[in-house]
A = this chain, B = another copy of it.
């Protein structure tokens, strides 16, 4: 196997050098790519029609970390884990952080949940009832405290707030209430912390969503200050939206805080990233790597400062393999984007040579980066095929003792 890889890699190396690619640089970038997995991605989730319960899902936040540790161990790329409060509420958060450390992990983004308490049925920070707004803001502030306890530097905000009917809520008042809550929370942040503001086209609000698109999240971040940025969930756009355009725009403004990666064909389907339209993911990475080449790149533009997070709903899939597949798909598309010869693209663009410019980007996508990924994994002492390694590891059998009915979101 290793021999076969060597031959493949030698050819790959020869071809990419011929194409003008600096493989040393590409390798370094690939090694720098860290992907955060979400604690809730290891639990049961589903559709409104049914949550199918699986054997072996974690029963508490500690077991979620154990599963996340498997993914990191096999890929070397997932050292942090996002948590969701109260789904991951524990009595002593320092213990959770310590347990993470003991597994070679850290706690990543903290995600407040202001949509499942009965009070939030008609809105949390945008509710017409001031008491509910206060309660919701208090939870946001509580999450900032949790950040301090677990050593997190990202507050990841998604609001389910919205309305189902014309007239149901006062759109502009709700906008202002939202701003008040964000401001109060922003002021509570420590200097090392960032607040990432997520937007969503629709669901669970079916008439209007208070933060409906990147423009609203971006304006909020602008008003708040440098510690506020936008979080792009790849499934939260209208059909046909050019997501990489939004990414490029936010990069140019220094306001791209991070991603929630997943795939969708219709609405917010939350499928495994890279399974529906992998070219889109590649094109997103193209924009990021292009911005990374700026002579004086805005600090926040660098890939190293963008939070690459997975946010999926594994309704029918085994959780850990689904997460491994997601991580590998991201690595694959990122590696392909690293094969872009940006000089060639820029030259064709400068000449207004439509076909040559398009080809210069697409030809990188058509490169098979498997030998590259294999080589980089081997160098790190990681399994070449993390999925195979996991399936043969016996871990699935081991966690079966957890039984059915573990955590869910």
User: Which residues of A pack against B, CB within 8 Å?
Assistant: 4, 7-8, 11, 14-15, 45-50, 52-53, 115-116, 118, 121-122, 127-129, 160, 164-172, 175-176, 201-204, 206-209, 212-216, 218-219, 237-242, 244-245, 248-249, 251-253, 264-267, 269, 271-272, 275-280, 283, 286-287, 290-291, 313, 315-318, 321-322, 325, 332, 345-346, 348-352, 354-355, 357-362, 365-368, 370, 387
Contact = CB atoms under 8 A, between A and B. Distances in A.
B350 A128 contact: yes
A15 B370 CA distance: 12
Contact of A206 (B212, B218, B266): B266
Nearest to A237: B238
A208 B362 CA distance: 16
Given A11-B11, A271-B165, A291-B172, A204 B49 contact: yes
Contacts of A276: 166, 207, 279
Identical subunits present: 4
Contacts of A202: 240, 265-267, 269
A343 to B, nearest CB: 12
A346 B170 contact: yes
Given A266-B202, A276-B207, A349-B168, A15 B11 contact: no
A109 B122 CA distance: 33
Nearest to A371: B11
13 contacts: A47-B48, A47-B203, A164-B271, A166-B276, A168-B357, A175-B252, A202-B266, A202-B267, A207-B271, A215-B219, A219-B219, A242-B265, A276-B279
Contacts of A209: 242
A316 B122 contact: yes
Given A166-B361, A201-B240, A215-B215, 18 more contacts: A8-B11, A127-B352, A164-B269, A166-B244, A166-B276, A166-B283, A167-B359, A168-B358, A171-B245, A171-B249, A172-B290, A206-B264, A206-B271, A208-B242, A213-B215, A237-B238, A238-B239, A238-B241
